[in-house]
Chain A
């Protein structure tokens, strides 16, 4: 075996966005040695892109808010296939996690009496999102980063993990490479936390960066853990659609929270049509009431633009399909209209939505204080992921934990905006806490050198095939396949076709060729990421086929309604002994009576 550089920690955290950083901080505070692996530089993970805010029932703006309402909102938004225990812990603990950020130096926008300000967001009954203009994610990641670097955490920037290492059933480390020199490294740890984020790069139109190739999902699956809810992918209703090069870049829901409206080519506010039954009595039935809601009038109900993301996305697709879209294939999102309502509207918009103003001005020559934006759905988030214990975040494999987007359960069939940042904090902390506990209670495991050699050989194979397939072309073909065939609107025929194409792409991915050497070679990195992308694409498609109904983010044209038999089950993806991907349905744990009552009381 070649002499690989080796590092030893008690807890190894893979991924350095909100969940990974929070896990590392917690584990470190518990007194164990922590290693933190990030695919990019520290502080650049996708959390930085989060805009609107962190959902937590602080009740600073509306005293009627409390964890019970937040819990009920989250379950309703997820169409009741969420893991109730995660939703409960999340709603109860999010306020403390937000206040903790303030103690670590975060500077949230303030209420008039000097407390943390909260804003309206889709699916949340009360103004609940603690925020900093429209750059909340930056504030959160910087606060965690600056706090974390003083805790003695060892940070490995620009490292990618290729495989988890096991001793029997237990996960005891990870094997990967560093980008700069392309050298392999072994990380030994008594416990490993996956916090790798999402899978957005499997789709053509996405708000996600190059990093989001389903690494944690794939690492866990390959090691023998289970994935759940993989069919539920959130298409955020408002991504940029023009110019083509910026297609998919996120436009925060905060625009609608501040009073922005969606209109079609006829100038009509189409969201007033087709309000779902279970939201009807929470939703304004006229424009004036919707505006008053955004202005904080407590007797007003939310405008239909602030319905859940799955619903808004489908309405936008409907408008476009039926020929009422905007010139570049989206719909209009207009915040400039508020100048009819308030003085100094332009200044107000720039203060509340500074980065949206900047983004449209610079990338699309649009002044959002004067003109409407053109927007359309963009692949944003996956509700599905590694199946974990709700309290400890440990997967079915001893020593393997997961938190944040790569874990699953809290969001069910659709995530509410703002619940991701709070999820990262609540379950990042729990994962760090219980990983540290596990590490203290267990001895280091044994590592199989033969397996490491095999992984290294496989990883280097593309260098032997300089005339081989272009990894960028395979990635592009996969993105088009998933976008066209397993997108917002799905059918059995198209998804069968997708599976066949994924099969062909897998064969091509085994023949990629790389030019140049191992030093900072993005072609090589893209080639290595393909395996994970293809794996999660297959899992998404299989799960979406299995759920023969429409619920939350999954819309099946061939099964357009919710079905009773799917109302209390999760799809579970796992690896069979022969290496093939298996899919099965499993009943959800029964919600205890006290929570049923909470749901009942907050209908």
Chain B
């Protein structure tokens, strides 16, 4: 099954650019990233794209394929209508560097500001802990995240409203959830979640969950429980009164 398909790939930098047409030969089982590599090797040596593992494990090759946020390495050409040109463009929530490569450094700065893991003292004399598998299943789900930032790409708060200074986005809400729900963790991140991290801006449209290549239930399992914790701690009048009382006693 060798046939030729047309690709419209976004070329350019932060200042100027547009779609350029390329033809690529498609063989059985090919993914979008293969087509990009073929075009790079034969027609556009300087075509910029990120990739590493080519198996959906590193989260480097995020792009928008026919308008949908995807990992290029896990999107097979056979899933796409090849009678029409396939459009490939960079993700939109972050500034463009060149072609399919965007400046995602904001994400790394955000993570640095989240309070790190702080474990309780070890459970056993040999310095180790005991945890039951059922108590870590949820955290393991969140820790599947490959940091492809597709969830950040489709989040309206970041993509449309550009509120990068007020909201950390679904990726980092899940990161906070993984820390907060870690059975050994003793840190409290609720105040930051509510203020600096802006959890209130999320209005649970679940776009992030829909595009997650790891099928993490970002909204239902991560963000909503975090919102509940914020509400319990900051808006529940009984809880508030109780803590006030405890503080006075102390």
Contact = CB atoms under 8 A, between A and B. Distances in A.
Interface of A: 40-46, 48-49, 99, 102-105, 107, 109-110, 113-116, 132-133, 135, 137-139, 142, 146-147, 149-150, 155, 157, 180, 209-211, 242-246, 249-250, 355, 358-359, 362-364, 470-473, 476, 514-517, 519-524, 526
Given A49-B57, A157-B105, A363-B74, A44 B29 contact: no
Interface in B22-64: 27-31, 34, 40-42, 45-60
Given A49-B57, A242-B29, A132 B52 contact: no
Give 9 closest A-B pairs by Cβ, nearest first.
A243-B29, A523-B45, A516-B46, A114-B130, A105-B117, A472-B41, A520-B48, A209-B52, A520-B98
B119 to A, nearest CB: 6
Contacts of B55: 49, 246, 249-250, 359, 363
B156 interface: no
B130 A113 contact: yes
B101 interface: yes
Given A48-B58, A114-B132, A180-B97, A149 B45 contact: no
Interface string B79-105: 000000000000000000111010111
B203 interface: no
Contacts of A180: 97, 103
A516 B46 CA distance: 6
Given A363-B29, A521-B46, A107 B139 contact: yes
A210 B51 contact: yes
B27 A107 contact: no
Contacts of A110: 131-133, 136
Contacts of A363: 29, 31, 55, 74, 76
A40 B56 contact: no
A524 B46 contact: yes
A34 to B, nearest CB: 15
B20 interface: no
B112 A150 contact: yes
What secondary structure prevails in chain B residues at the interface with A?
loop
Interface stretch (B143-151, B160-168, B192-200, B235-243): B143-151
B184 to A, nearest CB: 8
B84 to A, nearest CB: 21
A209 B57 CA distance: 12
A110 B54 CA distance: 30
B225 interface: no
Contacts of B53: 44, 46, 48-49, 209
A210 B58 CA distance: 13
A135 B144 contact: yes
A245 B27 contact: yes
A353 B202 CA distance: 33
B27 A149 contact: no
Most buried by A among B58, B60, B136, B143: B58
B125 interface: no
A146 B55 CA distance: 23
Given A48-B57, A146-B111, 4 more contacts: A114-B132, A157-B105, A476-B41, A521-B46
B67 interface: no
A91 B106 CA distance: 40
Interface residues of B, number: 59
A133 B137 CA distance: 11
Contacts of B45: 470-472, 514-516, 521-523, 526
Most buried by B among A105, A110, A116, A470: A105
Contacts of B143: 107, 132, 138-139, 142
A145 B105 CA distance: 15
Contacts of A526: 45
Given A44-B60, A150-B116, A472-B45, A211 B133 contact: no
Most buried by A among B34, B46, B140, B146: B46
Given A362-B74, A519-B13, A149 B111 contact: yes
A326 B126 CA distance: 50
B51 to A, nearest CB: 7
Contact of A522 (B47, B59, B108): B47
A209 B54 contact: yes
Contacts of B42: 472
A362 B98 contact: no
A350 to B, nearest CB: 12
B128 interface: yes
A103 B119 contact: yes
Contacts of B185: 105
A109 B133 contact: yes
A188 to B, nearest CB: 24
9 contacts: A48-B57, A99-B128, A146-B117, A246-B29, A363-B31, A471-B45, A515-B46, A519-B98, A520-B99
Nearest to A104: B117
Nearest to A526: B45
A44 B59 CA distance: 7
Contact of B50 (A41, A43, A243): A41
Contacts of B98: 519-520
A520 B41 contact: no
A43 B147 CA distance: 8
Contacts of A114: 129-132
Most buried by B among A40, A45, A155, A245: A245
B183 to A, nearest CB: 9
Contacts of A250: 55
Contacts of B34: 245
B104 to A, nearest CB: 7
A102 to B, nearest CB: 7
Given A180-B97, A209-B53, A515-B45, A41 B104 contact: yes
B28 A244 contact: yes
A472 B57 contact: no
Nearest to B149: A41
A115 B30 CA distance: 42
B167 to A, nearest CB: 20
A99 B111 CA distance: 24
Given A157-B105, A515-B45, A364 B29 contact: yes
A523 B46 contact: yes
A135 B56 CA distance: 11
Contacts of A524: 46
B46 A244 contact: no
A157 B109 CA distance: 12
Given A110-B133, A138-B146, A142-B143, A249 B27 contact: no
Contact of B56 (A41, A46, A359): A359
A103 B48 CA distance: 39
A132 B99 CA distance: 36
Most buried by B among A113, A114, A139, A242: A114
A150 B116 CA distance: 7
Contacts of A157: 105, 108
A359 B48 CA distance: 26
B40 to A, nearest CB: 6
B46 A522 contact: yes
A149 B107 CA distance: 12
Contacts of A362: 56, 74, 76
Contacts of A514: 45-46
